[in-house]
Structure 1
Amino acid sequence: MAQEGPSLASLGTPGQVDGHATLQSDRGDETQALFMYQWSAGVTLLAAAVAGINDYTAIWCEHHDDLLGELPSGLFHAVQVKTDSTPNARWTCSDASFGDAIKKFAEHEAAYSARFERYVLFSNIKPYVPGATAKAPARLASSPVRVRDLCLSVLTWSELPQPYKASFEALVKYTGAAADVVFRVLRKLGFQSGPHLEDFREQLCSVLSGIPACKNFTVGWLEKVRDEVLLLVGKASSVTVPALDFYASLLQSDGRPEAMVRCKRIAKEDFEQAIRQHPGSGFRYANVGGHLQLGQASGQKERLRQKMAAGYVAPFFDALWMLAMSAEERLLAEANVDAEGTLRKTRQLESAMLVACKKVELDVLLAEPDERRRGLKILQGVFQKADELARHDRATVDGERAETLQGVAGLLSGSCKFAWGASVDGAGDGT
């Protein structure tokens, strides 16, 4: 017997009149999608910043405008995110949503003219640009691009030619702003095309794949990264503040804690870190380690001391030995809970730190001829590399702290896998 198809959703299709096909009046799900579209605009701006396409050092979400792009100069780009689901729609000067955007930009221009370098309309539809055969004056003058370009070509708005001057004056009337303010806004106005409304989440994967760090990601990993960075922008766009920051912050003049504003800023580095920390971006070494024998580090104490003394870094032995023993103890504790998983993790940490330590050792050996100065530079380089891995490549080191990685370096040196720029008793550097 053939199986029945999937049953209809509980209670059937909502909002139907007398059982006949009827458009829904309650479209809360579509409203939520539009909020997410605005988040996708923030992701697009940050992705472009990471890829070097724009100069933004950070974006601000729902602070003065939908989005603010922060520039190294301290200036800003104000970004209005507008959508339209009408097929083949184009923005014209008479559209209410376009007028609303200009009105908002005019408020910025009146209050902070010197701080705003550009005003951007980010949208799923493009502005109307007349074709070569277009002749109707009113239609020509409805083009926001033409009006903008003419504002750039004259010194004052009063010099605008007709019929474009009429479109400009209609915008002035709609916004209620001073004509010279609207004129300055239009001279700073830019348009940016966003993804389609219907499949913007899928298109966002293509946007992220343009970032060098994401080029080799599979589609599955790109989708996970996309969801992670969308949530990052979504949190900054809402009132998501850690409780301690919320209650420890002084109130501003608008009655809100200062932390509520700080949390609206996403630095380009924060966005990069969110990508790097994703599991898909970590480098996994082949399962060929095994140099570290957990539980046997205590027998390597004197060997490590000799190697560090030979490298003129004996004063730092106690600190490194404490880190080594602490790292071993931490990994042993994990092994008691998950022996197989900890073995894989230990080999990954071992491989990551061995490669890092040997690279630092090689660089110092090539650059520093004085054997007495090599050890200190190697120690400094190893500690710095451990900190970089812990901060910016957490997936590669399974989220471990820098102190654990530094301890692993100590264990590797104690087991004769790398030295401190000098041999022990005439032996090679690897002893």
Structure 2
Amino acid sequence: MVTTINKISEYVGQEVKIGAWLYNKRSSGKIQFLQLRDGTGFIQGVLVKKQVSPEVWEQAQNLTQESSLYVTGTVRQDDRAPSGYELDVTDVEPIQVAEEYPIALKEHGVEFLMDHRHLWIRSPRQRAILKIRAEIIRAIQDWLNNESFTLVDPPVLTPSSCEGTTNLFHTKYFDEDAFLTQSGQLYMEAAAMALGRVYSFGPTFRAEKSKTRRHLIEFWMIEPEMAFCAHEESLNIQENLLSHVVQHVLKHCEAELKQIGRDTKPLENVTAPFPRITYDEAVELLNKEGMEFKWGEDFGAPHETKIAESFDKPVFITHYPVEVKAFYMKPDPERPEVALCADLIAPEGYGEIIGGSQRIDDPELLKQRFDEHRLPKEAYEWYMDLRRYGTVPHSGFGLGLERTVAWICGLDHVRETIPFPRMLNRLYP
């Protein structure tokens, strides 16, 4: 029976055949222990010299790290094994005996590992992180789909900026200027006017020359937009979505979280509702804690970390000054100097993972914002049409996938959260 390691429990006492790579090998002279991986998991194959032919024994001896092979053997339950099962090997069919593998089973420097990222992702820890990433994506999409959101794909090439910044990658679109998207939000607003509740999931690009552990040049965003939705309802949606994601990972990624050494106790607290404080209250908190901070500035990483320390689950900071937020955020009618917006700050020093707001639905106010931000109106004419033809209250948010993965996995740097990270000085491999 041909199978995979993740299904091996279905064949206890039976002979199976799997395609695999040799992760590691040790021998006691008369027994060879083959650490095998096939992408779905890891298992140990036990090869006893007196139970196989001399040819099979020699073929196994000649295998090097990351050699590819077919292995045949009988599945045996073993509670001492990490997976709970081992394979009593009866046959080995080498596909390729690999050259000397660059990433030996020892400590390597980060730059060396990043240069060999295409091979590094084969290691148990990196595989576990990527599996958790996949489950986070699954949980997000499942929750949104069940809540009647429709997936819509915005363009990657755009004629203008979403947030009015200069941190854009410029390219030529035949005879026109174009940019790699920094957000699909404006297009998702258009989609929401057609479909009600929508979301996008795709790559975004920020040409920020930043080297911090929270930043990537290319990263993935989940961006829901909701028609007939005010600020408060949007916050409820955000906290329910994130609660579902964390609890899904705890349920479905127990082995992977254990593999990477993640303390899951802080994650168990992540259930809705989340605490909420205003920007004013956050400023007051910082000053009380001895971090001098002036009203009207935006929070940096140290400020977000300090604020998060006062809570045991993610916290919303709401009602930022209009001046520090994007042009499309709706001012609070009762206090126009602040916006109906919120950033969701993760615990344990991971900073902002969601940013959202109620959007401006008044065409006259939006025109005023274009003037204040000196935005080219011709590039945003289509966006103005959304306010001319059936404008409604609407809200949305963006969830940064890599920061969310870093937080849930407890990683020191976002470079491990994506298969092939793009950073300030890294475009290889």
TM range (shorter): under 0.3
**Which structure has the larger Rg?**
1
- Normalized per residue, the structure richer in strand is 2
TM-score (normalizing by structure 1): 0.23
- Normalized per residue, the structure richer in helix is 1
TM-score (normalizing by structure 2): 0.23
